[in-house]
Amino acid sequence: MNNIKKIVFIDMDGVLVDFGKEIELQQSLLKSNDKLLEQPDLIKGIFKNPPVFPGALNGVKTLYESNLFELIIATTAPWGNHESASDKRVWIEKHFKGIFEKKMVITHRKDLLLGDYLIDDRLANGAKEFKGELIRFGWDYENKKWNKYPNWESVIKKLIG
């Protein structure tokens, strides 16, 4: 019997985290001339307590409980927002209770990751060149259309059936 699990890297922002909602909230608190309106990921604390993306908790739990996959976070932390990396780690611990303990990679080069799948909403930071299969998730805000896998139900259907 083959006990080798498939490795699944999961992006955070736009996949686990409803980052769009958090950006809207944070931008509403800024003054109209604030430079951070153009670079919201540099807002201090923006990664501390954003909402969970709809379906993410159940989706991750389903993948985890299937015992078919090694689940690992693969996220990018903005270079100009030093607290973002630790804020993201604390957020993961708060919402996913041990599923990702010591299973988090912070990188601007997802093309260097070795695994079977990458669930990501964007092609940036090396996701487009990922050597395994890219599962394009959620809303493509650059092209203003839904990606092939618009929600967690579609991801579960693809990976588990």
Instruction: Tell me the catalytic residues.
Output: 11, 13
Separation of alpha carbons 135 and 118, rounded Å: 6
Tell me if residue 75 falls in helix, strand or coil. strand
Say which residue the tokens 């608190």 belong to.
29
Cα 52 from chain centroid (whole Å):
10
Burial of 118 (0-12, 13-18, 19+ CB in 10 A): buried
Tokens at 93, concatenated: 């611990």
Tell me if residue 41 falls in helix, strand or coil. helix
Tokens at 85, concatenated: 């990396």
Separation of alpha carbons 130 and 116, rounded Å: 9
